[in-house]
Amino acid sequence: MTAVTRALTHVTINGHRLDVAPPHPPSTGAPWGVFLHEGLGSAAQWRDYPARVASATGCGTLVYSRRGYGRSEPRPRPWPDDFMAPEAIETLPALLAHVGIERPVLFGHSDGGTIALVFAAAFPGACAGIISIAAHVMSEDITGSSIMAARQRFLAGPLREVLRRQHGDHTDDTALGWTEAWLRVGAWDMRPSLPAITCPVLVIQGRDDEFGTLAQVDAIAQGVGGPVETLVLDHCGHAPQREKRKEVLAAVTRFIRQLT
């Protein structure tokens, strides 16, 4: 199987150019898996994980960078405070329609997990399932303080060079636009919309996640209207799919197989 890190292609969605890895169709009877990256990530950051999921489950894979990330169209500052909502309600549905994907499993990390939940709440029945990794459904003090710390690491230099490998010439707009938007949000809470989510949900989070507490897991598990499973991983931070690859892949494989 060809890895998802192969050369990316471009599509134009709602007037904006997005980097999309060539879709890998599912095996007969298996769903599509759509991978939604974190707040400072991109399609490339998933590395070979989508291919591993596809190999284990037969699911198809669609991996892309949102506007402002990776090699997608830049997004100049300032970013809107509600930048995730249009991604979920406008861009993602248009992209799925463009590729011809119906009822996918949305595999979202951090902001990507939140976008997956917003999409599922806005379009009940449109998802076969959601795999939510380290998503946020409400503001927490720990989130703001960790984003502020990330901003300082960026301004001091080390994080800027790391992120430049993904985002190139628009790294400053990406990192500063994202951190500024999050830090402006203040009190934010999408829990009232969670009961509209009726598809199965797998919620994964590291116990040592520096961007959110286990209250996020509890809120999703108690709030969604459909079946839910949770996986809390010890000695694990904000990126369980990288820090606990085997455990997460095993849980994801079981979850997807139960859907087919």
pLDDT at 148 over 70: yes
pTM over 0.85: yes
Instruction: Identify the CATH number of the domain in which residue 107 sits.
Output: 3.40.50.1820
Q: What is the pLDDT of residues 225-243, one digit of tens each?
A: 999 999 999 999 999 999 9
Domain count, the chain: 1
Q: SS3 for 1-63, per residue?
A: CCCCCCCCEEEEECCEEEEECCCECCCCCCCEEEEECCCCCCHHHHCCHHHHHHHHHCCEEEE
* Structural domain contains residue 47: yes
List the domain range (segments joined by +) for residue 204: 9-259
198: Cβ contacts below 8 Å, ≥ 6 apart: 124, 125, 224, 225, 226
Q: Is the pLDDT of residue 158 over 50?
A: yes
Residue 2 lies in a domain: no
Q: What is the pLDDT of residues 122-140, one digit of tens each?
A: 999 999 999 999 999 999 9
pLDDT at residue 186, rounded to an integer: 82
Q: Answer whether residue 111 is part of any domain.
A: yes
Q: Is residue 145 one of the residues assigned to a domain? A: yes
Distance CA 52, CA 43 (A): 15
What dihedral do alpha carbons 164, 77, 14, 133 form, nearest 10°?
Answer: 60
211: pLDDT strictly greater than 90: yes
Residue 225 lies in a domain: yes
Residue 2 has pLDDT above 70, yes or no: no
Is residue 174 in some structural domain?
yes
pLDDT in tens, 15-50: 999 999 989 999 999 999 999 999 999 999 999 999
For 5, the token pair is: 């890190």
What's the pLDDT at 123?
98
Residue-wise pLDDT for 70-96, tens only, equals 999 999 999 999 999 999 999 999 999
Question: What per-residue confidence (pLDDT) applies to 233?
Answer: 98
